[in-house]
Chains A and B, each alone.
Chain A
Amino acid sequence: AQSVTQLGSHVSVSEGALVLLRCNYSSSVPPYLFWYVQYPNQGLQLLLKYTTGATLVKGINGFEAEFKKSETSFHLTKPSAHMSDAAEYFCAVSEKGNNRLAFGKGNQVVVIP
């Protein structure tokens, strides 16, 4: 069964600083990996996904993530944080043959001016 680990429920970052959110997964087969963002009182919005091919994936709003099979990781980064990046971020995994998503517990990002 697949599972996802996101450490640090709350992450504070200064405006203009690097955003780094860590995601590690376990999966018995090659995974599909996703990052979603949730703004207050809204549904989840897809930031980016990895299915096959290039391991560095670029998403919306300047975010990117790199799939590292040897480390079973899919960390999310953004070079320079904006105030508008304050939200909750979820890493998720699904497996071929199984459409359900398994989510991490999320990271609440606070951007400090």
Chain B
Amino acid sequence: GAGVSQSPSNKVTEKGKDVELRCDPISGHTALYWYRQRLGQGLEFLIYFQGNSAPDKSGLPSDRFSAERTGESVSTLTIQRTQQEDSAVYLCASSFGGLAGGGNIQYFGAGTRLSVL
């Protein structure tokens, strides 16, 4: 498809389990972002990948959260030992990295709704 694709769309897990969320960006987009949307809150930045540069991990809330990206394609967000406060919608976005810092339009996927019981 032409848009950002995320899977699964819904994930229910038990507290303490690990989960992996997947994001397929738009082809040709060098930048990829992960955000978290908790109920009643705006989106919180988690992590940003730009080409082969070191990712900006400054938004990751704890060391239980990690993300990887293979080249300029798929990314996975991993949450280890999930807690109930991790319940949220996790949104992925991608963009061209052309503009020098800022102003790039980010295109969002539909998100993964994570529920931790």
Contact = CB atoms under 8 A, between A and B. Distances in A.
B40 interface: yes
B31 A99 contact: yes
Interface stretch (B14-22, B60-68, B70-78, B102-110): B102-110
Nearest to A29: B102
Interface string A44-55: 111001010000
B1 interface: no
Interface string A19-35: 00000000000001010
B108 A98 contact: no
B40 A43 contact: no
Question: Is the contact region of chain A dominated by helix, strand, or loop, or is it mixed?
Answer: strand
A81 B104 CA distance: 29
A36 B106 CA distance: 10
Interface in B8-35: 31, 33, 35
Given A90-B43, A99-B48, A103-B43, A42 B110 contact: yes
Contacts of B43: 44, 90, 92, 101, 103
A49 B105 CA distance: 8
Interface in B89-117: 91, 93, 95, 97, 100-111
A32 B103 contact: yes
Interface string A97-112: 1111111111000000
A44 B95 contact: no
A95 interface: yes
B104 A44 contact: no
Interface of B: 3-4, 31, 33, 35, 40-45, 48, 50, 56, 59, 91, 93, 95, 97, 100-111
Interface of A: 4, 6, 9, 32, 34, 36, 41-46, 49, 51, 90, 92, 94-106
